[in-house]
Chains A and B, each alone.
Chain A
Amino acid sequence: MILDPQQVFSEAGACIRCGACMEVCPLYQLTGQETTVARGKLSLLQALNRHELPPSQRLQEILEFCLLCGACTEKCTARVSTPELVKSGRAAMRQRRGRSWSPALVLTALSLQAERVLPNLSAAGPLVKRLKSWVGGNSGLLWRLWPALTGLVGRLPSLAPRPFSRSAPHLLPGRGRRKIAFFVGCGLEALFPQAGLAFLQLCQRLAIEVIIPPRQGCCGLLAHSAGEVETARELARRFLKQFETLPVDCIVTACASCSYHLKNLARLFPSGREGESAFRLAAKIREASEYLVETETINNLNFLPGFRSQSLVFHDPCHLRRGQRIVEPPRRLLAAAPGVEVLEPESVVTCCGQGGIFGICHPETAGLIGREAVTTYCGMGATALVTACSGCLAQLTGLAPPELRVRHFLEILAESL
C-alpha cells in the first residue's frame, strides 16, 4: 500500500488537526515546531499528494526528521499511522527527486549485501575501533567531511569479535513437537550475537527445535525507513524465499524492529503473489518474548533458585510497545527469573532516539533524546537496562554510563538457567 498517492492522501486526510499528538511527539517536545509533529507532516503529505507542493529539499528534511516512533498514533483518536505515511512520503520523494547522496543511502546499499558483509565484518573490527578512536579524538577533518556518519560511528558499539552465524549451528535439535526458525537480523549478527545465543540456550532447555538458515540477510526495515522501497522489496523477496517453505510453527526473532517489519512485509507488495505469501508468513512471525509467553514454555525453564538479586529496568522499544503492542511479555519473563525485580520509571520514556534511519541522519538530535532517556533510567537505581531491539541496544549502549549495563532481556533469562 506504499506509493499509492490516493491512499496516502485519504489516510493523511483522516487527521482532524486536534493537536493531541503534540503532547507526546519527542521531536515536537524538543523543537516546538509544527513541522516536526504528526499534524504538520500529515498536512504536508496531503499537499504533496495533491501536487500543491513540489518535492523540495525542505520537504525532504522535514520528512527525514521523524523517529517513526508511533507515539503520535498511540495518542491519536483517528488512529492515523503517521510512521507508515512518513515512510510512504519518503519513498515518493525518492521517486520524484531521485537519489541524493546520504549516509542512510550507503547503509541501505550495504543492507543488500548484509548476508555477505556482516559475517566477515569482525575482520574489520580493529579498523572500526581505530576509526572510532580517531573520531572520538576530535578529528576535525572527518567531522567536516562526514558529520552524520561521524556521529554514527562515534556512538556505535564495538563490533562483536565473533558474529552470530560463526558461533551458532544451523540446526538446534529438539525433543518435542515445537519447531521454529530463527531470524537473526543484522544487529544480532554483527553487534549483539550474545542475545541470539541466549535465545538458543533457552530453546535448548525447552527442547524446542530451531532451524537457523545460513546466509540470512537484512529484514529491510532500514531500507524501507529510508524510502528505498525497491531495496526493501528485494530483501523481502529473499526472506520469503528462504523462510516460506520451512516446516516450522513460527519464525522467531529477538529484535523488535525485525519482527515489526517482517509482520508487515505485505505492505510492500500491494498486490500479487509476494503480497499474499508475505501476508501468510506474517501470521507465523513472533518476537522472542511474545513466543515464549504465548507457548507458556516459560514454566518449563526451571530457573536456578536463589540467583543473585538484581533490579532491572526494561526499555520499551517503539517497534515492540506501539508497533506490536507487546508490553507485558518481556516483563513477565524477566519477573519470572529468580532474584529479578523489574522497575518502572516515573516518567515515560517514549523513544531512545535511534528511530530507523533517524540516528544516522540526525545524530545530534538522536543523542539528545537518547541521553535524556538514559538520565531517566540512571536515576532509578537499576543495575542493568534491558531491552529487546538491536536499534535500542546500539543507541543505549553507546550512551549509558559504565555502571548501567545495557543488555538484551534474553541474556538475563539465559544467565538464570
Chain B
Amino acid sequence: MINPQVLQKVQDVVGAPHLLTSQEDRLCYAYDAANLLHVPEAVAFPGSTEEVASLLRLANEYRFPVVPRGAGTGTTGGAVAVQGGLVVVTTRLNRILEIDTDNFLAVVEPGVITGHLKAAAAKEGLYYPPDPSSASFCTIGGNVAENAGGSAAVKYGVTRDYVLGLKVVLPTGQIIDTGVKTAKGVVGYDLTRLLVGSEGTLGIITRIILRLVTQPAARQTLLAGFSDISRATQTVGRILKARLGPCALEFLDRASLECVRDLLPFDIPPQTQALLLLEVDGHPHDVRDRVESMDSFCRGQEAAFVLAAASAPEAEKLWQARKLLSPASFKLKPHKLSEDVVVPISLIPDLVASIEILSRELDLPIMCFGHAGDGNIHVNVMYDQQQDRERQAAGQAVEKIFTVVRELGGTLSGEHGVGLTKSPYIGMELSEAAIALSLRLKKAFDPNNIMNPGKIFSPPAPPPSP
C-alpha cells in the first residue's frame, strides 16, 4: 500500500499532471496485451532519469512495488501490477537523442516507439533491423526489457545484438551506465546483456545506445504455398542450409492462413496447407539473383506456387497480414494461450507434427506460425473460456507443448519473455541451481524486492521437471 503521504512525495517528484490516481485512470493501466487485469495504486510519468531515480528511492524507502511500463504490448503480463504499487510509464521519455551517422549508432530514450526509430534511422540511410510485429506501437525500452525479436532475426539477430550500452536506474535509486559507445568492449562483467531481457525486474532503463547498420538498397518479398505442411517445414531448414540468406523466413500453417486470407494481396488456392513468407535484401543485382534461386529452390521443394510481391505496397500488404496474425487468431476462438517456443531449426517439422497430433488429441484448434527461420514458432492454443472442457484442455495443452519442446532441445520462450503467464513453467527449463543463482542476482540488484515483483521467478521456484 502506498499511503497518502508517500503518494504526495511521489507527486512532488513528477508533478501533479504526471501522476494519475483516479480509479478510472488506473484501470487503463491495469493490463497489457496478455489481457490480465491488476489495477495499480498510481501511475507516474517521469520526465527524466533523475525523476526515475527519485521515484525508486521512495519505493525503496517506503517499500512499494514499482512496475516499469513502455506501451503495454507485452504478451506475458510483464507490465501488469500483480502486487499493486506504482506503474512507471516511459511515454514522456521519448526523445531520439542522437543518430550518429559516423559511428553507426543511435542514442534514444526508452519511450521511443520502435517504428519511429526505424524511420528516423532510414532517413539517414541507416537501418535498425529488429522488427517485432508490434514495432509501430511498442517501445524500444520494452523491446530491450523483453529482448524482442521479430522477422528480421533470421539474418540480423534480435534486440540484444544491437544494444551497446544502457543507462539504468537501479532499484536502490543509483544510476549506472553499462556497456560502451564503441564497437567492442570487455571491461567488467557484461551487465548490459544481463539487463537486456530482464523484464523490468532489475532496474528501469532510461537511455539506450543502439548499433545501426546500413540500409539495404533493395528488398523483395516472396510467398510460397505448399499443399503438404511437412514439405513446408522441411523447406525452412533447407533454405538456410542452401545459404540462400533470407532476411525473413516466416511460416504460416493452414489455420493461420485462414485467419488472414482476406488480408492477402493474392488469391491463395484452397488446397494450400502452409505458407512460407520470405524476404531477401541487399544490393539490387544480388537481390534479383537470390530471388530467382529462392523461387526455383522452393519449387524444387514441391511448393505449389511461389508469388513475388510486384510492388512495395503489395509487399507491405503481405507483411501487414503477417503482423496482424496474432490478433487475427481470435477469429477462431475468443481466448488463447500463446507460446513462442523455439526449437533447433532442423527439428521444426517434428515440433509442428507433434502439435498437430496434440491438437487432435485435445480437440482444440492449435495454430502454428512465426519466425521459422530462427526456429521460433508461435503456438496458439485457441479455446473458449466459457466451455469447461475447452478451458481444461487448453490448460493441459501448455504443459504438453513445453514437454515436447524440451524433448526437442528447445526453449519455452524465444522473445515474449516469462512475465506472469510463463513463470509457473520455468522449472521445466532452468535447473534449481540456475534459478537460485538468478534469485541471488536479483537480491543483489534489488534487496527489498520492489522492482516488478512477482515476475519471472514467482511463485517461488517451481519444482524442477522430473
Contact = CB atoms under 8 A, between A and B. Distances in A.
B327 A62 contact: no
B421 to A, nearest CB: 14
A173 interface: no
B137 A40 contact: no
Given A17-B31, A32-B91, A34-B29, A23 B24 contact: no
Given A53-B23, A77-B328, A78-B327, A17 B35 contact: yes
Contact of B24 (A17, A39, A58, A78): A58
Given A78-B327, A78-B330, A19 B33 contact: yes
Interface in B323-339: 324, 326-328, 330-331, 334
In this complex, the member of A16, A44, A76 whose beta carbon has the largest number of chain B beta carbons within 10 angstroms is: A16
Interface in B344-399: none
Contact of A56 (B24, B94, B326): B24
Interface of A: 14, 16-20, 22-23, 32-35, 39-40, 43-44, 47, 53, 56, 58-59, 62, 76-78
Given A20-B137, A58-B24, A34 B72 contact: yes
B27 A53 contact: yes
B327 A43 contact: no
A252 to B, nearest CB: 31
Contacts of A44: 24, 27-28
26 contacts: A14-B330, A14-B334, A16-B35, A16-B330, A18-B134, A19-B32, A19-B71, A19-B72, A19-B73, A19-B138, A20-B324, A32-B94, A33-B25, A35-B24, A35-B25, A35-B28, A43-B28, A53-B23, A53-B24, A56-B23, A56-B24, A58-B24, A76-B327, A77-B324, A77-B327, A77-B328
A20 B327 contact: yes
Contacts of A47: 27
Given A22-B71, A32-B91, A34-B72, A40 B28 contact: yes
B400 interface: no
Interface of B: 20, 22-25, 27-33, 35, 45, 71-73, 91-92, 94, 115, 134, 136-138, 324, 326-328, 330-331, 334
A18 B326 contact: yes
A34 B28 contact: yes
In this complex, the member of B22, B137, B330 whose beta carbon has the largest number of chain A beta carbons within 10 angstroms is: B137
Contacts of A16: 33, 35, 327, 330
Given A22-B71, A58-B22, A77-B328, A17 B27 contact: no
A58 B25 contact: yes
Contacts of B92: 32
A62 to B, nearest CB: 6
Given A39-B31, A77-B324, 4 more contacts: A16-B330, A18-B134, A20-B134, A35-B24
Contacts of B24: 35, 44, 53, 56, 58-59, 62
Contacts of A53: 23-24, 27
B149 to A, nearest CB: 17
A15 to B, nearest CB: 9
Contacts of B33: 16-19
Going nearest first, the 8 A-B pairs with the smallest beta carbon separation are A40-B28, A34-B28, A77-B327, A32-B91, A23-B137, A19-B73, A22-B137, A18-B327
A79 B185 CA distance: 49
Contacts of A32: 45, 91-92, 94
A20 B330 CA distance: 14
Contacts of A17: 31-33, 35, 72
Nearest to B24: A58
Nearest to B331: A77
A43 B136 contact: no
Contacts of B324: 20, 77
Contacts of B115: 23
A35 B136 CA distance: 19
A152 B356 CA distance: 61
A56 B20 CA distance: 16
Contacts of A43: 27-28, 30-31
A122 B35 CA distance: 54
A78 B25 CA distance: 24
A169 B73 CA distance: 57
